[in-house]
Amino acid sequence: MTLLSILVFSPSLLTGILIVHLLWPAGGWKVFWVKLFLGLGLGLGQASLLDFVYMLLFSSENGFLFVQLALSAGLLTAALVRARKDFPLALPRIQPSRLQIILMAGVILPAVLSALTAVNVWAREPHGAWDAWMMYNRAARFIYRDQAGWLGSFSRQMDPIFHADYPLQLGMDVAWAWQAVGQETQRVPIVLSGLFMLGCAGLLGASLNLVQGPGQASIALILLLGSALIGNEGASQRADLPLAYFFLGTAVSICLYVRSKERGLLILAGFMAGLAAWTKNEGSLFVLISLPALFIAFFRQQPWRVLGWYVLGLAFPLIVVLGFKGLLAPPSDVLSSGLNRSIQQVLDLSRHLTILRSFGADVFTFGGWGIGILPILLVYALIFKLAPAPDLRPAHVAIGLALSLQALGYYGIYLITPYDLQWHIVFSLGRLVAQLWVPFLFLFFTVVTDVERALAVK
C-alpha cells in the first residue's frame, strides 16, 4: 500500500516538474535539481486545486487520476517536442573539491537522523499530530467518505474548533489519492507529508547549490536537518511545513527571476504564493504582503510588469481560494472579535508586551538547539561576513520585506485574536516561526559569503 500511495502521486509530480520546465526552459544539472524540487510541490498543489474544481463538476465520479495522467502525458509531449532539437541534459563531470566533499558528507548523518525521526513519528502517530487529524485528515475524510455530498463538509453547523474554513490543499490531495487507490489508508497522508519534507529540504539545497554552490547548500541543509522542522514537524502531517515549502518556492522563484530575467519564473513565484494561500490562512496574508514587497523591490525595474507576470501565476490558485472562502467556507474564527473589541485589543499595551516578549523568546530559541539557531546565524554572519551580490539586490529586498511583513502580520493577528492571548501564542507561535525559517535560511545563505570562497581565500 505504501508503494501504491507513492505511485498515485507520480503523475501529479511529473506534471509539476514539466510545468516548471516549460515555464523555465534553462538547462544543466544544477537547474534540473531545482526544477525537480520546485515541480514536486507545484505538482501536489496543482492536483489539489484541480481536484477541487473536478469535485465541483463531477463529485460522483472517481476519475481524477485519469485527469492527472492525461495532463502529465500532454505536458510530456509538449516538453519532448520542444526538446527534440537539443536534448538539454548531458551527464556532468563532477569533480568536487575536498572541502565540498567534507561539507556534503556532513549532510548525510543529519539527513539519516531526520529520516529515522520521521519514520518513528509516522509509526507512532499514523493519523498525525492533533491538528493534522482534527483539521486536514478530518477534511479529507469528509470529502472522501461521501463524495456526492462533499459540499456538506463546510456546513455552518460544524463546531468552529474544527476549522472547516481552512484551505484544502492537504485535504483534497489526501481525498483524491484515497479515491484513486480505492481505500482510506493512512499511508497516503504519510506519503504526502514525506513528499513535502523531501521537497522542502531538496529545494533549499538545490536552489542554494545553483545560486551559490554546493558548500553553501550543505551548510544550510545541515542547519535545517538538525532542527526539528523536517523530521518531527514535517512528519506530523500538519500544514506548516507545506506552507514553509510554498514560501520557499516563491522566494526561490523570485531570486532565480532576478538572476535570469525569465518571466516564467515570476509566473511560478505567483503560483507558489497562491498555493501557500490554498494551504493555510497564513498563505493569504503572504499573498497580500508579497505584492507591495515585489513593487518596492522592483521599483526601478518596471514594477508593474513584474507584478503583472506574478499576478498571472497567482490568478488560478487565488480564484479557487476566493471561491472557496466566499462561497463554501464558514467564517474564520480568528477575525471574529468584531471591530470594537479588536480596536480595544490593539490599544492594550500589555498585549503588545506579551507578544513582543514571546516573539523575542521564540525567535531566539527556535530550533531546539538550546541557545537558538538565530543567534548562531548572527555569529556565522559576523565570522563569515555578509557579501550580497549586487545583481541579486531586488531578490534580497523582496524576500526580506515579504518575510518581515509576514512576521508583522502574525503580530497583528495575535493582537486581535478572539482567543486567550497566552494560549494562542503557546499553541501556535513556534509553528509560525517555523514557517518563515526555511525561506529565511535561503535568504541568509544567499547574502552571507559563500563558505567555499571564504575558506579558499586564505
Partner 1 sequence: MTIRLVLQRALLAGISVASIYFGVQNLRRAMAIGSLGSDPVTQWELRFQPVKKLLPFKRGVIGYITNSDVPGAHYDANNEQGEYTLTQYTMAPIILVRGDQPDWTLANLNSKAFQIWSQANRGQFRVIPLNDNLYLLHRLAP
Q: How far is residue 287's CA from residue 203's CA, in Å, rounded to a whole number?
A: 20
Cβ–Cβ < 8 Å for 324, 52: yes
Q: How far is residue 6's CA from residue 11's CA, in Å, rounded to a whole number?
A: 10
With respect to partner 1, which residue has the nearer C-beta, 99 or 334? 99
| Shortest distance, position 134 Cβ to partner 1, whole Å | 5
With respect to partner 1, which residue has the nearer C-beta, 25 or 372? 372
| Shortest distance, position 387 Cβ to partner 1, whole Å | 13
* Torsion sign across C-alpha atoms 67, 236, 443, 26: negative
With respect to partner 1, which residue has the nearer C-beta, 226 or 317? 226
With respect to partner 1, which residue has the nearer C-beta, 134 or 288? 134
With respect to partner 1, which residue has the nearer C-beta, 334 or 455? 455
| Shortest distance, position 227 Cβ to partner 1, whole Å | 7
With respect to partner 1, which residue has the nearer C-beta, 157 or 350? 157
| Shortest distance, position 398 Cβ to partner 1, whole Å | 28
| Shortest distance, position 286 Cβ to partner 1, whole Å | 27
Beta bridge partners of 448: 386
| Shortest distance, position 366 Cβ to partner 1, whole Å | 12
With respect to partner 1, which residue has the nearer C-beta, 66 or 130? 130
Q: How far is residue 188's CA from residue 222's CA, in Å, rounded to a whole number?
A: 28
With respect to partner 1, which residue has the nearer C-beta, 128 or 264? 128
| Shortest distance, position 240 Cβ to partner 1, whole Å | 16
Copy the grid coordinates of residue 88. Answer: 538539454
Dihedral over alpha carbons 201, 356, 361, 374 (to 10 degrees): 40
* Strand, helix or coil for residue 61: coil
At residue 351, what are phi and psi to the nearest 5 degrees? -65, -40
| Shortest distance, position 295 Cβ to partner 1, whole Å | 36
- Which residues have CB under 8 Å from 99's CB, separation 6+? 215, 451, 452, 455, 456
| Shortest distance, position 223 Cβ to partner 1, whole Å | 7
* Site residues for partner 1 per CB under 8 A: 103, 106, 109-110, 113-114, 116-118, 120-121, 123-127, 130, 133-134, 137-138, 141-142, 145-146, 149, 152-153, 155, 157-159, 161-162, 219, 222-223, 225-228, 231-232, 235, 367-369, 376, 379-380, 383-384, 451, 454-455, 458
Query: How many helices and strands, by DSSP H and E, does the chain display?
Result: 20, 0
With respect to partner 1, which residue has the nearer C-beta, 6 or 134? 134
With respect to partner 1, which residue has the nearer C-beta, 379 or 386? 379
With respect to partner 1, which residue has the nearer C-beta, 58 or 130? 130
At residue 230, what are phi and psi to the nearest 5 degrees? -80, -60
In this structure, what DSSP letter does residue 154 have? G
| Residue 92 CB neighbours (<10 A) | 10
Q: How far is residue 376's CA from residue 382's CA, in Å, rounded to a whole number?
A: 10
Give the DSSP letter string of 127-144: T-SHHIIIIIHHHHHHHH
| Shortest distance, position 72 Cβ to partner 1, whole Å | 30
Distance of CA 258 to the CA centre of its chain: 20
| Shortest distance, position 430 Cβ to partner 1, whole Å | 14
| Residue 376 CB neighbours (<10 A) | 13
Q: How far is residue 275's CA from residue 267's CA, in Å, rounded to a whole number?
A: 12
| Shortest distance, position 145 Cβ to partner 1, whole Å | 5
* Torsion sign across C-alpha atoms 280, 282, 285, 289: negative
Give the DSSP letter string of 167-228: --HHHHHHHHHHHHHTS--THHHHHHHHHHHHHHHHHHHHHHHHHT-HHHHHHHHHHHHHSS
With respect to partner 1, which residue has the nearer C-beta, 192 or 451? 451
| Residue 224 CB neighbours (<10 A) | 24
| Residue 17 CB neighbours (<10 A) | 23
